[in-house]
Structures are given as C-alpha cells and as structure tokens.
Amino acid sequence: MRGKITSILVLLGLFVFLIAGREKPLFLQFAEAGEKNKPAADFVLADLDGKSLKLFDFEGKVIILDFWATHCPPCRKEIPDFIKLYDKYRDKGLVIIGISLDRCGVEKVKSFCRENGVNYPVVTGDREVIASYGGIRYIPTTFIIDKNKNIVKKFIGYTSINVFEREIKALLE
C-alpha cells in the first residue's frame, strides 16, 4: 500500500513539474481550439448603471469578452492585466467587456469594479448569454472576437497578459 501511495505522489509531482512555468496550463491549452472562426453571439445586457450594452455595437473592433465573478481568484488576477491592455490598446480598436456571473447583486460588482479601477465596460450576465457562448462551466472563460465578429480564441482559466497581447496585436493590425 505504501508503495502505491509513493508512486501516485511521484506521478503527481512529475505532472506538476511538467506544467509549472507555462503561461497556460497544459490541460487548458486544448480548450482554445474548438471555437475558432465561429460567429460570436450578439447580446444586449445591462451594464452596472442599468444601461443596455449590445455586443454588435462595437463594429470593427477587436473584443475580449471575459466571463468572470468577484469571488473567483483567477478572475481577480486577470483584471489588472485587462486594465493595462485596455489602456494600451483601446485607441487602436480594442474593447474589453466583462460579463459578471455574480449572484451577489449589481452593487457588490459595482463596488468591486470601483475599488479595483476597472476601466472597461462590465455587464451582468444571464442564462441566455451563457448558453449562447456554449455554456460557461468554468470561470474565467474568455473569448477573443475579431473585427468581423468571429470568435478566434477561447481561453478557460487564468491566462497571462502576454498571451492576450500576442493574440490581439495580430488582430488589431
């Protein structure tokens, strides 16, 4: 019995060693492939002030569409990177839209965004938008949408700023 436990721990350690240091965990890299060039679903959702935001209003823009929640540590880790990307590329045609999947109410999300300096639009998600993007099972789940409103990448889990920047730079040119 002791030998089996040791073997399992060694294999687990080897797995962790193999994925350590990657920008994206190995098991999540494969999640990106299936959504390429699929048309993005339009939606109309309320922003944190109750105003309607429609995805297709951002004609000719590259969009990072991020499904997230305030209680999610990897989501919280990505937000400062999204703020930096939006500051750097918004004048070049980038739009970032955060879709909050919080159930705690809009006031908590609004307070979180204010405290963390979120500078891009945040809307409140609903079941319809979750379904239209394939059923969001894990957060963060982030889509990159090109100027023609096609999904070109899907990321599940924390993704580094370097990965996002590489993807959007090519689309913004």
The CATH H-level (homologous superfamily) assignment of domain 25-172 is Glutaredoxin (3.40.30.10)
Q: Tell me the three state secondary structure of residue 134.
A: coil
For residues 108 and 18, what is the distance between their CA atoms, to the nearest angstrom? 39
Half-sphere exposure of 97 (CA within 13 A, CB side): 25
- The one-letter code for the residue type at 52 is S
Lowest-confidence pick of 14-28, 31-45, 59-73, 128-142: 14-28
- C-alpha separations of 83 from 37, 87, 121 in Å: 26, 6, 11
For residues 65 and 167, what is the distance between their CA atoms, to the nearest angstrom? 13
Q: Do residues 68 and 99 lie in contact, with contact meaning Cβ atoms separated by under 8 Å?
A: yes
Q: What is the pTM of this model?
A: 0.80
pLDDT in tens, 36-72: 678 999 999 999 999 999 999 999 999 999 999 999 9
pLDDT of 3 higher than 90: no
For residues 103 and 72, what is the distance between their CA atoms, to the nearest angstrom? 12
For residues 35 and 62, what is the distance between their CA atoms, to the nearest angstrom? 16
Q: Give me the residue label for tokens 């997230």.
A: 68
Q: Most distant CA pair in the chain: distance in Å? A: 62
pLDDT score of 5: 56
Q: Is 156 exposed, middle or buried (0-12, 13-18, 19+ CB in 10 A)?
A: buried
| Mean pLDDT (whole number) for 107-117 | 97
Q: Which tokens sit at 173?
A: 């040119």
Q: Is 27 exposed, middle or buried (0-12, 13-18, 19+ CB in 10 A)?
A: exposed
Instruction: For CA atoms 45, 41, 88, 69, give the dihedral sign.
Output: positive
| Mean pLDDT (whole number) for 153-165 | 97
